[in-house]
Structure 1
Amino acid sequence: MALKKTDRMVIMIFCVLIFLAAAGAVFAEEMSKTSLPKVIRVGWYKNKNFQEMDPNGYRRGYEYEYLQEMARYGGWRYEYVSGSREECLKMLQEGLVDVVGGLFYTETAARSFDFVKYETDETYTILAVNAKDGRYTMDGWEGFDGMRIGVIPVWKNHLYKLHDYAAERGILFTTADYKSIDELERALKGGDVDAILMGEADIIPSNTKIIAQFAPSKRYFVTRLGGGDMKNALIFAMEQIRRFKPDFKAQLEKKYLEDSDGIILAFTEEEARFLKETPTLRVTLPSFRKPMMYKENGEYRGIAIDILKELEAKLGVRFEYIEALNQLEAVKMVSTGSADILSNIYYDYGWAEKNGLLLSRPYLDLDYAAITRIDYIQNSGNPKAAAVKGYLFSQNYVQKNYREEEIAWYNSEEECVDAVRNGEADICFVNSYVAGTYLQNYKYKNLYASVINYSHGLSLSLPHGGRQEMLLMSVLDKGISAIGKNKTSAIIAVNTMVTRHTMSAGEIIMRYPMISLSVAGISVAVIVSVLAIYVIIRNNRRKNIEVQRAEQASQRDTMTGLYNRSYFESEVSARLGAEENHEAAFLMIDLDDFKMINDTLGHLYGDHVLILFAAKMREVFGTDNLLCRMGGDEFAAFLPRIKSYQEVLALAEALKASFIKDIGGRAPSSCSIGISLCPEDGRTFNDLYRAADSALYAAKKSGKGKISAA
């Protein structure tokens, strides 16, 4: 029995309402945790790679994409208020905007603004010299005394950091100002300056080498001082990003911030000789957990492993990996000479001194997350914390925040997470990358992660010793610096993306039973609806297809899919009648030497060129304009609303360039274009067509690939 149209509509609406109710309940639960505004006013100032406008007038940049991702979790939209950086901060203080990005934390700034809890990125100040300059080595600051350093205006904010760096080491320097990076590069190459000062996120000139990297600075979003609701709303959104997309910052850094690949390492003669005489180094692997470090199909993988591989390449050595049961055993292996390097060690000088070890500079920064059961209510009774024996984190955080009787000790992080899952403990702590891996597995469907205010770096470690250990530590530090923060971010992005757990249908049902039941009910309703209307659809289908084909044939060119001449003329005439008060443009376009393409490469290739050119027209002119194949190799475009002739000329140039790029050198690949304007050249189809055709004739007469206006 066929259902009536009204019955079908009722069923469809019912299905939609079920979906909306389920989604709304989930969304409302999350949003109820904080008071979120509907519109946030953003102070927008030009900041390369962070806040920019692309050639089409669209916003882009590191902080722009961060804001957009935050809006996904906050449910708000943005209103952008433009100005200089100083103007935006003043507007924030006056309450004219709600948030400004890209502010480095200082005590002075903290007295004027509220800094949102989590930084957006971290950058270092660097000194770089000519790659062939043998006078300077990485962190060989004893030789920096008397150095002449070049700067440009946009990098002067790093000067006070350089003054602090020099004062701490008792060295003197002079500076020279240059107007542009090109001028500064010429000065460095010509020997007018010894070094250049810049930020790690800046575009580092080619053929240079970094000799110092110092003064890490964190960038934040800031709100008006005392604006608690706004600050808390932003913190909530950033916590959701850190929880559900731990690789997000790494993706942004890879996309927007220049990498330090290609910066040439500077080794002393003694260091170079040491590396040549030590082709293999033994490295301990003290713990195995995705995505940090794990073994798959007999091969070591993970974030830490990929960083070690990069370090191998930078130093020109080979690492031989030795597995250890835990961190304590790994320390013993290095101390007794069974291994040369201890990996995955917390960057903590107190712990290192206690164990007689040296620490390299950090190669990775880790944030930590608390894992609890979804049904666990914090601060209810005496919580039981699961901690790993011998881990520095257990000493630095767990034992400081929980009494000894509240701590249950385990041998690994996985045992701790399982203890929370099974109810043996209430809470445990792992780094945010590892937390994401656990929560993506349906086995841990009853667990929840939240970011805590604790982070530390990961380093390599060596035992205290003689000259050989000092040389090894020096080259390790230089290699880690040469890897660069952004290469590290790319490694993080790859490993956190490839380790995501894919759930089967059965796992989805177990994890989301109510939603699964809703989907099942909706599916049954859809099936019944489909069966009910199948007969009607079958009877009407052929008729609809025939009508569509007839309509398509009457409007479209069969080869390119553009409008045919007849329909194009009627549509243009209609638009001209309706848009009398707007300027418009009419373009006639002809492919140069198209006959030669057909004669030399064949008609099939010629057809391919026509189809490709039509696609390029759609790409350049978009869907709001009328596009037509007039016949043969002749095309036309009508732009009903334009701002200026320059806008039309820019589109014509873009079409020419795009066509040349895609066809390449296999065949002639230029086109000639004639342009007429409304109302200057006419107000009817025929007037504009004749004017554009005359302009096209003039363009072809003056040479191939030309653009001419009536």
Structure 2
Amino acid sequence: MKKHTIQIWSMGLALCLVFCLTTSRVQAEEKKIIRVAFPEQTGFSSTDSAGNHSGYTYEFLEEIAKYTGWEYEFITGDSSDESLLKMMEDLKNGRIDIMGGMVYTPQLAEDYDFPEYNCGYSYSTLSVLKDNEDVNATNYSTFNNMKVGARKTATRRIQALNEFCRANGITLSIVEYDSDEAMQAALKSGGVDALLGPDVAMGDDERIVARFDGRPYYFAVTKGNTEVVSGINTATAAINEQNPNYATELYMKYFNKNNQQVTLESFIKANPTESIVAALGIGLVLAAVVGMTMYIRMQRNQQMLLNYERYRILSEMSKEFIFEYDYREDSIVVSEQFAHTFGGKSQVDHFFSTILSKRLDIDESARCFAGLIKRRPPEEARYEVEYKTTVPSGNEEWVRATSMIIFDKHNQPMRAIGKIININAEQCEKEALINQAHRDALTGLYNRTTFEELVNTYLQERGDEEGAMMVVDLDHFKTVNDTLGHQGGDEVLEDLAREMTACFGEEAVLGRLGGDEFLVFVKDVKACRDKPVQAARALCRAMNRCYERNSGQIEVSVSVGLAYSFRNSAFEMLYSMADEALYYMKDHGKNNVKVYDASIGDALGNNDNNTRKGAF
């Protein structure tokens, strides 16, 4: 007995070990490996001689991996344009899954997918040499009459600088260069006072004196890789919820090192008059402190205005309609673009109680919008819906709406912030692709597969003697092609498709089997079984016509075979019966319709099928 007990325990232990090893191996196999483009870019991505990775992109991806369980394979490269272009091509072709630091443009969106959430902002900057004390970030008047070096190709950045100067009353001149090296040389030699460029590509001997024109950048993904895009969206949303300042903290760590620090010495040098006045007495010092406080407040207000303007411009450029709903006040604030597009004011009080609630019973779009601002628990903070709404033109178009709720410390909803994007073109394109997959390219009728599915579905639901199947065939179509040419033959086929629609109506299922053979299925004929016969004869009369093309002339006609459905009938069986009736009609005069009966099979069995088909 003891020996058997030991054997049982041994077998159990072995089974547990096998199960654990198998589970471990399956879990290891389920680890997803993501290939990441990792070029050498200061601040963004860097790899040392030991193969250790660092940078903004690396840290953000590591944070994403905490939520997705991904493991990364970093595809490294140098900082040359050739290396970056090759990585972008590899991303496009699927050899790489993710590439960081990509700014969204409609052109890039044609080749890559972009997540909904960005991973940070990049700014245009003005930078000077660190030992240049004449230019001070706290006093824009020191910018006047500066010479600024810029790349010739940076037209958008130059435009943003001009707008920044106009907003702040700054006068300067721009010197354009063909390369970054030429710009750096000009800065060091005194040819220019400052350089215009991105904050992520600045030399160690420079410091930032102005930052403007923020643009979001993303992790770009291979087109169609929805799994990776979804993973990035889910993880980024979770990161933002855990730490809304995560991207800002990374930015300060990697890209704010050379920003000019405001010191008392630099302020005195930039503002000598105020400093002298402050030195005259304690009273004047107090006045100077008040003035300085006001100055800082003005700077902050100006920055807030710039941030708002940038946010407004980005909203307009991306064609997003922004809204913010206050639960406690029951008020909603919308962007100017939102108010202009959908009508109404930019701010509405008592929004839900007096306006939206009255439309819920009559307006589907109102019910969908109500879902965006509905009170939800923190775990359901994000909500997305697609629906149709009326636009100023009076048409109904598809939109995609997304909202995120902000909660107070007691997990009570405070505000719902959201955006609405017009996706009508995307939806129409999707519907067109679906339609294209189900239709014959020449005639626009259903193809064989779709026709068969529709007929079988109807027969399964209705059965009995409810339907009539017809096979329609052009007589002597080879002769038609030989006489009129293939283009002329196509015109005859298109005419036949139009006449079928006219004779059988919109309710009939119409399809093209291929070549000159067409299919018709008429529904609900039990009460009037002669109706499809009459429609088929009308089609024969309509198509019995003469065609002329390129001095060629030929008489055209069609023959039709018809079979009625019966209990437990299916497409293949009805098609075979209608096809036999068609061949019988072809053997007995053509240009008419024949209804299938049992005698047709015997009649066709006495003929040589090959000879008969050759005559058609």
TM over 0.5: no
- Alignment TM class, shorter chain as reference: 0.3 to 0.5
Larger Rg: 2
Give me the TM-score of the superposition, normalised by structure 1.
Answer: 0.36
User: Greater relative contact order: 1 or 2 (C-alpha under 8 angstroms, separation 6 or more)?
Assistant: 1
